[in-house]
Structure 1
Amino acid sequence: MDFIKPADAVKSMLAASETKAALSVRDLLLRGFLSGALLGFATSLALTATGQTQTPLVGALVFPVGFVMIVLLGLELVTGSFAVTTLAAVSGRRAWATVFTNLGWVFLANLAGSLAYGALLYAVLTNAGASAPAGIAASIVKIAEAKTTAYAALGTAGMATVVTKAILCNWMVCMGVVMALTSHSTVGKIVAMWLPVLTFFAQGFEHSVVNMFVIPTGMLLGANVSLSDWWLWNQIPVTLGNFVGGFLFVGLSLYWTYRPAATPGVVAAAAPTAPSSPAAAEPARA
């Protein structure tokens, strides 16, 4: 049958966590760079669809295309790693220092890919700087300001809001990672992961890698946002909130309820590293 049971999906998460934690820095940087760029493509596509239809839900419906490409290609997205790679440490298969180093490299690579795509899109939207921002470019400017200075204007309440939105966002994003593990078929994986990713984007929650593209691109286009606005009122709190949402509400929660029973006489850290199904490792790499 095509459907994979939740307990087996968690076994696949554990196998993938060890595979991801063992990746070289070169692979983390390459796969992370591509993920950042692809999520930028998906975001600009969603904004284009919203502008053309004047219906934000249409933009949310198409946004998951980037996430699908990332998952199916086995690339590295730090938000997904918050739920998956961390299990390598939780299960005792890797040290926490190794896991956090891995997450750090992926974060930097996602940032580089997002900035690269943003710079290229800036050239397209402004005719290489010859035209003033209009259409989708103007939308990006407004979004960049709404994600930073609008929160800053609210003070403590703004900070609480942005962190909460980040937690809710990655709760759904990481559910998308896990849902991709519940099917053997490509179509089944796409449909399963599409649902939670659509859910987060349609409600305007905060995703750290999406913001790595939107905010600096908005700044290039003339948004009234400083570097400190970007990092203090969005990037840092959103990344922390995404970690909580992915690690606590998805990775750790599912591990606690579905973790495999220990085999008598076998140390957990010595558990087999091979995936328990053909879909074990690659789909969980986002």
Structure 2
Amino acid sequence: MAIEDRNEQDITSSESVDRPSRQFYIPSQIIEEFGEKGRDHLNKPFSGQFLLAMTAGSFMTFGAVFSILLAVGVETKGIYHLLSGLGFAAGYAMVFISGAVLFTEINVLLPSYLFNKTNLMKKSIYRFWGATYIGNIIGAFSVAVLIQLSGSLAPEFYAELSIYLDHKMKFLEHGVKGWFEVVISGILANWLIGMAAFLTTAARDFTGKVLGTILPVVLFVAGNFQHSAANMGYFSMGLLASDQYTWYQYIFFNLVPASIGNLIGGAILVSLLFSYAYKEDIQTSLGQGKQKKKQNH
């Protein structure tokens, strides 16, 4: 009997040793990661913040161009949306994995830090948000200028770009109602992009991070949900390639309401929601949980 018991213990021990480790982070760990990334971005020097924001904006234009190139000539709607989404996912994957600073991603990361912090340094927060937004626009437009100067794209690309711009700016016809529709669409868009960041952070290897990025991005592109950072890429190309719409129409009738919606979608429906749901499990230097523990000790 003793020998049998020992054998069972050996088998149990062997199974525990051979059991593979978990291949993803659990939700509370993801929110901790969000908060730590938000804190790290906030603590960077202003020059570093701005350069990373420009880099992220440039990736948005590359993603916009790739989404159009993959979809040119495709008539089947499902395949068209899939290819377009895959193309734009390349831009987001470059942002997420490189650590570049995207306005709509910051709408998720920074609130995750602030919701678990007592004192808010308002000046630095607003400056950071502003620098990120302006940096994204400058980066997106700069790459659009370079692409135009390169003369690399065929006429078919510009015909398809025109269709994309009409699709993005269709709300213009609805006046004030359309403006608020863009806000709501922006909420949905950054809810999905927030979940792309969520899934990407959950993954612990490169393949998982890319797949985690692709799924929500394909959905937001197919649904024509208005994502300000993505639209910066499309609109930058549109400003240089056609006179369909003016710069102030792009900014005031799409980017502004979309940005408001993006802030709500990322901060409330992703960051606040999960921070509250898992507040008991979040025990990092970001929150008060650790401070209370120290006081108790």
Provide TM-score, normalisation by structure 1.
0.84
Relative distance call for 1:196 and 1:107 in structure 2 (3 A) is same
The answer to whether the aligner puts 1:115 opposite 2:138 as a matched pair is no
Deviates more, 1:239-248 or 1:160-169: 160-169
**Distance (Å, rounded) in 1 between the aligned partners of 2:280 and 2:89:** 31
Q: 2:65 aligns with which of 9, 25, 44?
A: 44
**Distance (Å, rounded) in 2 between the aligned partners of 1:57 and 1:261:** 37
**Distance (Å, rounded) in 2 between the aligned partners of 1:82 and 1:146:** 25
2:26 is aligned to 5
1:242-269 per-position Cα deviation (integer Å, ceiling 9, x unaligned): 1111111011111111124587xx9729
For residues 231-242 of structure 1, what are the structure 2 equivalents within 5 Å?
231-242=251-262
**Distance (Å, rounded) in 2 between the aligned partners of 1:225 and 1:33:** 24
| Residue 155 of structure 1: how far off its partner (Å) | 1.1
**Distance (Å, rounded) in 1 between the aligned partners of 2:290 and 2:126:** 21
Relative distance call for 1:168 and 1:31 in structure 2 (3 A) is same
1:199 is aligned to 219
The answer to whether the aligner puts 1:70 opposite 2:95 as a matched pair is yes
| Residue 44 of structure 1: how far off its partner (Å) | 0.7
Structure 2 residues without counterparts, runs of 5 or longer: 1-21, 292-297
1:91 is aligned to 116
| Residue 34 of structure 1: how far off its partner (Å) | 1.0
2:38 is aligned to 17
1:131-190 per-position Cα deviation (integer Å, ceiling 9, x unaligned): xx8311122234334433x32221122112211111111100011111112122121222
Look up the equivalent residue of 1:63 and give its one-letter code: F
2:201 is aligned to 181
For residues 154-165 of structure 1, what are the structure 2 equivalents within 5 Å?
154-165=174-185
Look up the equivalent residue of 1:238 and give its one-letter code: A
Please identify the structure whose Cα radius of gyration is greater.
2
Q: 2:53 aligns with which of 11, 15, 32?
A: 32
Q: Which has the higher helix share?
A: 2
Look up the equivalent residue of 2:155 and give its one-letter code: A
1:103 is aligned to 129
Relative distance call for 1:102 and 1:135 in structure 2 (3 A) is same
Identity between Structure 1 and Structure 2 (%) = 19
Deviates more, 1:210-219 or 1:163-172: 210-219
Contact 2:81–2:218, Cα closer than 8 Å, also in 1:
no
Relative distance call for 1:259 and 1:14 in structure 2 (3 A) is farther
**Distance (Å, rounded) in 2 between the aligned partners of 1:91 and 1:6:** 15
Structure 1 residues without counterparts, runs of 5 or longer: 128-132, 272-286
Contact 2:186–2:226, Cα closer than 8 Å, also in 1:
yes
Deviates more, 1:253-262 or 1:173-182: 253-262
Contact 1:4–1:183, Cα closer than 8 Å, also in 2:
yes
Provide TM-score, normalisation by structure 2.
0.81
Q: 1:152 aligns with which of 172, 195, 208?
A: 172
**Distance (Å, rounded) in 2 between the aligned partners of 1:136 and 1:33:** 24
Relative distance call for 1:267 and 1:106 in structure 2 (3 A) is closer
1:221 is aligned to 241
**Distance (Å, rounded) in 2 between the aligned partners of 1:179 and 1:11:** 14
SS in 2 for 1:205: coil
Relative distance call for 1:228 and 1:33 in structure 2 (3 A) is same
Contact 1:35–1:70, Cα closer than 8 Å, also in 2:
yes
Q: 2:104 aligns with which of 79, 85, 103?
A: 79
Count residues with an aligned counterpart: 263
Contact 2:32–2:282, Cα closer than 8 Å, also in 1:
no
Contact 1:143–1:215, Cα closer than 8 Å, also in 2:
no
**Distance (Å, rounded) in 2 between the aligned partners of 1:267 and 1:250:** 18
Relative distance call for 1:99 and 1:135 in structure 2 (3 A) is same
Contact 2:64–2:87, Cα closer than 8 Å, also in 1:
no
**Distance (Å, rounded) in 2 between the aligned partners of 1:66 and 1:248:** 24
| Residue 216 of structure 1: how far off its partner (Å) | 3.2
Deviates more, 1:110-119 or 1:10-19: 10-19
Q: 1:259 aligns with which of 279, 288, 297?
A: 279
Contact 2:192–2:220, Cα closer than 8 Å, also in 1:
yes
Spell out structure 1 runs of 4+ moving beyond 6 A.
none
